[in-house]
A and B are shown apart, each in its own frame.
Chain A
Amino acid sequence: MANLSLRDATKTFDDDGDEIIAVDELNLEIEDGEFLVLVGPSGCGKSTTLRMVAGLETPTSGSINIGDEPIHHQTPQERDIAMVFQSYALYPHMTVYENMAFGLEESSDLSDEETEEQVNTAAEMLGITDLLGRKPGELSGGQQQRVALGRAIVRDPKVFLLDEPLANLDAKLRAEMRTELQQLQEDLGTTTIYVTHDQTEAMTMSDRIAILDGGMLQQVGTPMECYHEPANLFVAGFIGEPSMNFFDVTRADDVLVGDGFEYPLSEEMSASIDGTTELVLGIRPENVGIVERSSGPTVFPGVVDVIEPHGNENAVHLRFAESSTDETFTSTVDGMRHLTGGQQVGVSFPEDAVYLFDTATGDALRHRVVEDIEEVQEIGTR
């Protein structure tokens, strides 16, 4: 067990003379025993980062350390790490037992008895003892996934690397495995990096999330921090489902003029945006209220477009009544609430829930007001 750090880790690929930057000066500190989720859209460099830690890619520059020991020059064999691949990469000609024992046989000097004992312990932990004699081809997707995990666990490495391990499972099993994996990591207390493109996995499983886009680190923080205090437009849009609503606005004195609405600026808001005039106003769907028309200064006339029922809640797609385009935005309301398409409503954007971003840089200028983020975190972290 150890903490892992990446310092200015950069990876570029050569594409017929063109240099493609996959990971750009990434700095990350992962504490001993921490569960860090690397999340981002495809091609953001998250898998490349993981492969650099695994030793399957060599960083072009920068360093990677486990504890105080630099490991970026070591081969994968020399690093004490275990990895779970998205495809599981089980060896098809070996039984489950042989698959799990292979790493121990190759990387340690354990006797056959000790190997057997460790494999059996790991198999028991994952509930796959019955499967030890079978070949991977005879297993279901979920069972193969467990074997792949078992193969990593049995080695008791310093760092676990998981590359989208749940991507090939069906939705129900994925939700179950999410909980189970989290529990397992907590029991083992091994430093873990988990790569995913699924923000739900990132939110629900991690101690901290690192969000990557275009090879650059956008934000590192607890799930609650990333959700309530996104560093920029990208993080705000990426974290949260359904994603945050964005409106292009221009500042005119003490109002923000958007397409179909004018948002009055409070003193606190105008202070935070300073002299910026081109802004993006953001608000999460759960904060968009559907109320009576003209019941306040931050309520605007809107029209209900489409309603998607989810049972406990409805995702309502709305338009501004005075908008010049057909652009819609989303509000989530209670599932029992009755709305119909075409209905004339008031749309409320409470001041406390409004985010403001600089259009030019994408940086967040104002976050929503959360009473006490520390307190929220107490509930949020486990």
Chain B
Amino acid sequence: MARSKDTVTGSGSVSTGAVPNDWRDRLRRFSKSDVVRSFPYWFIPFSIMGLGVYGGIGWNTLISFTDYEGFRERPDITNLDLDMYIQALQDPAVIVTTKNTFILMIVFTTVTMALGLFLAILLDREIRYKEKIQTIYLLPMALSFVVTAQFWLWMYNVNNGLVNVVLGVFGLGPYNWIGSPDLVLWAVIFALVWQFSGYAMVVFLAGLQSLPDDQFEAARVDGASAFKTYWRVIIPQLKSSSVSAAVILLIFALKAFTFLYSMFGQYRVPQATDILATLMVREAFQLQNWAYAAAIASILLVMSLAIIAPYLHYQHKQGSL
């Protein structure tokens, strides 16, 4: 209060020099504002993040408009065109990998969510040793892709892998999980489901436990069976958990490169498991087709955004964004 009073008398006494005084006053107030005073704290992290992420995206997009390849010269940014995108859309490799990416995304996400929901419902039904079981299921999530990929590679070994040994007991197999183009994608999806279903379970379990008991009780008194209670009353209320789990899983599916690279130990993965991410890395770091790889990266980014956008829209509609 005291300061505002000062300002009023100050501007009143200097009748001729009102403009510079006003300018100084504004500058002084600006220098005292929260934005300016907190500048050293937000600017550094903001600029590092901005340069690393958005600068990277911008640079990648710029490169994708050039014809840059090899190490000989710098990219020529004077001549920008959409050649790389046109080439990508006509490339059979891009079409096959996009198809594989979609299969991986949809099958992996659906199965993982269904399994996670099923496990969460089992655990939610007042089971003993719940915490321990929860930890056991969540544990694969804590393992590195490199570890799990190697581990499943051995599990899938055609001669003495555990999967074939177990199936052999029932007189099945042996199957060439990794070698057969028909099986390899499903084998990879199964391994990824194994790793991520615990995560989906934890998300759903949190959702289930946030529902009040009386929802279950009201449905029981209303005459609904256990299955109908879950199907009609409980699962529809898990919408926000489902959406967040689905988004995370879809994103993981898009960047399954790490898993595939670790499993097969090279850029060239079996064609049946070749996804956009592996194709992009191969084009860039094996063949040095920088511009072409950048174009594929941009396509991948647009796909990710297309997945995220409805989620953000949903969050916004719920008022939590």
Contact = CB atoms under 8 A, between A and B. Distances in A.
With most chain B CB atoms within 10 A of its CB, the pick from A89, A93, A102, A107 is A89
A77 B220 contact: yes
A81 B217 CA distance: 13
B1 to A, nearest CB: 40
Contacts of A83: 217-218, 221
A56 B214 CA distance: 10
A87 B214 contact: yes
Contact of A76 (B215, B221, B233, B236): B221
A89 B239 CA distance: 18
Instruction: Classify the interface of chain A: helix, strand, loop or mixed.
Output: loop
A234 interface: no
B224 interface: yes
Contacts of A103: 221-223
B37 interface: no
Interface in B185-243: 212, 214-215, 217-225, 228, 232-233, 236-237, 239
A3 B228 CA distance: 30
A77 B224 CA distance: 6
Contacts of A151: 222
20 contacts: A54-B217, A54-B221, A76-B217, A82-B221, A83-B218, A85-B214, A85-B217, A89-B217, A91-B215, A91-B218, A91-B237, A93-B237, A93-B239, A102-B222, A107-B222, A107-B223, A107-B224, A108-B223, A155-B222, A155-B223
Given A87-B212, A89-B215, A81 B222 contact: no
Interface residues of A, number: 23
A263 to B, nearest CB: 51
A89 B214 contact: yes
A75 B220 contact: yes
A20 to B, nearest CB: 18
A354 B170 CA distance: 87
A85 B237 contact: no
A56 B217 contact: yes
Interface string A84-97: 01010111110000
Nearest to A76: B220
B237 A106 contact: no
Nearest to A107: B223
B223 A77 contact: yes
Nearest to B229: A106
A89 B218 contact: yes
